[in-house]
Amino acid sequence: MDVKVPYTNSKNADEAFATAKSQITGDYVDKFKVKTDLSYDETGKKIIATGKGFTLTLAFMATECEVSLDLGFLYKPLKGKILETIESKVKKHV
């Protein structure tokens, strides 16, 4: 886990997961010009995005979203900036 984002617009994990799931779609990810496969774990309340050189996991806990980002060697120098952007997007919606 790299970043914890407390819920500001959602009351619990179920509501936050549903909101994030409706926002994070193939169209949303396509704006970043990165080929990404999205998977949704309904029981574990997780959204997992994988692509060439990265895996992003959003795990929805009772009061916060835990963001984990694994990057390939080439992208490691950008990890801080990428996490900052993801954190701001998650804060905005959940």
pLDDT digits (tens, 9 = 90+) for 50-67: 988 899 999 999 999 999
Global pTM value? 0.89
DSSP label at residue 74 = G
The mean pLDDT value of the chain amounts to 89
CA distances from 25 to 16, 19, 21, 28, 50 (A): 15, 11, 7, 5, 13
Q: How many CB atoms lie within 10 A of CB 21?
A: 16
**Number of residues in the chain:** 94
